[in-house]
Amino acid sequence: MTTSRTETITVDGGGFDAHVVVPDSGSGPGLVVLQEIFGVNTYIKSVCERLAGMGYVAIAPDMFWRQEPGFVVEPEQGEEGMQLAFAKVGGFDFSNVAGDVGAALDHLRGLPECTGDAGLIGFCFGGTLTFLGAAALDPTCAVSYYGSGVAGNLDQADDISCPILFHFGGSDPYLPSEDSQAVADRFADVEQATVLVQPDAGHAFDNHLNPMFSNPPAAAAAWEATAAFLGEHLPVG
């Protein structure tokens, strides 16, 4: 069985919590799981479990800790929860991304269960953080799911040296097709980059716990590609 616990990550100016899940093997390569705008909620914890089931040590840091430590929104909070989450991301200071994500990556690599190599994977808001983290840091690889801020930060694309996989939904109301196409065009000639679009999927299609977003066929297709990508660039065993 996988095991989970809470770790505290220390950075200049304080510290923040992270949810850690260890595979039943007891060790493996690591993945920093970067949250949606809803915090480290039940869905993000389930992603950690999914990755641990594949043999990875997964750690999901609280990226809103500077604003409201422990901020979480669950699907049953409905429209009110959506507005709370949008307000939280609206006040997020992106200048802290490299420091906070970097601290989480370093902490993960320092865990006794982590075999050393570690990557980034993020969803929605976390998809953007993954892209920015890949540009500023040294992850082994990176997987960005529907990061709405990626297209606006393509000036940082040259700073990415690790293999990176992007997922987008072709019918995403929060992310114009022009943006995902801009990402595809920018990385078209980059051998280590792959951009995949699920044509009939909207935003957050991997979030199986939120009926507003969930698209099981798209999620399954994208996860199969993610597993293959991780198996190549961050192999277990």
Among 124, 141, 167, 179, the active-site one is 124
In angstroms, the CA 61 to CA 63 distance is 6
Q: Specify whether 124 is catalytic.
A: yes
Q: Tokens at residue 90, please?
A: 């609206």
In angstroms, the CA 220 to CA 100 distance is 30
Place of tokens 């709370």: 84
State the alpha helices, DSSP H only, in the chain. Answer: 42-53, 78-90, 97-110, 125-136, 177-186, 216-233
Among 19, 107, 203, 233, the active-site one is 203
Among 172, 179, 206, 233, the active-site one is 172
Q: Specify whether 203 is catalytic.
A: yes
DSSP 87-116: HHHHT--GGGHHHHHHHHHHHHHHSTTEEE
Tell me the catalytic residues.
124, 172, 203
